[in-house]
Amino acid sequence: MTGLIASWQFWALLAAAFAALTAILAKVGVSDVPSDLATLLRTLVVVALLAVIVALTRQWRSPASLPARSLVFLALSGLATGASWLCYFRALKLGDAARVAPIDKLSVVLVAVFGVAFLGEKLAPANWLGIALIALGAWLVSL
């Protein structure tokens, strides 16, 4: 069990399960609320949950003690996350969760492309085939 909990695959599958729940719960939650307000309320819940986790696990460190490069990239990541969530909730407000979520998951394709282009990561032909199939699958589900 310890090996499973220490694996990236375990956490990635949990992330996928929670992302699926997010889409369904958000679709219901955003039905009678403006999408930007819904995003704010969801974000406040995320901040509160993370504050509790960081406090309980004693991970808190002063941001001033962290490397400036890390802070810059975490801030940029936060801006990208906020933009993603705003767009996602707007899409959920306007469309079916079963169609919105697969298009949102085209981020998987973009991460692969960006990882290769900007981080120097390497993907084998079988990996590229999988990426192409994900893109095709997202497009087919969105029809």
pLDDT at 76: 95
pTM for the whole thing?
A: 0.81
The phi-psi region of residue 53 (left if phi > 0; otherwise alpha if psi is between -120 and 50; otherwise beta) is: alpha
Which tokens belong to 42?
A: 């969801």
Q: What confidence tens digit (pLDDT) does each residue in 71-86 have?
A: 999 999 999 999 999 9
Average pLDDT estimate for 49-67: 96
Does the structure show a pLDDT above 70 at 1? no
In this structure, is the dihedral angle defined by the CA atoms of residues 23, 29, 32 and 36, taken in order, positive or negative?
A: negative
Q: For the chain, what is the mean pLDDT?
A: 93
Which tokens belong to 39?
A: 């995003």
Instruction: Give rounded-to-5 percent helix, strand, coil for the chain.
Output: 80, 0, 20
Does the structure show a pLDDT above 90 at 142? no
Q: What confidence tens digit (pLDDT) does each residue in 94-139 have?
A: 999 999 988 998 999 999 999 999 999 999 999 999 999 999 999 8
Of the given ranges (12-16, 34-38, 70-74), which has the lowest mean pLDDT?
Answer: 12-16
Does the structure show a pLDDT above 80 at 46? yes
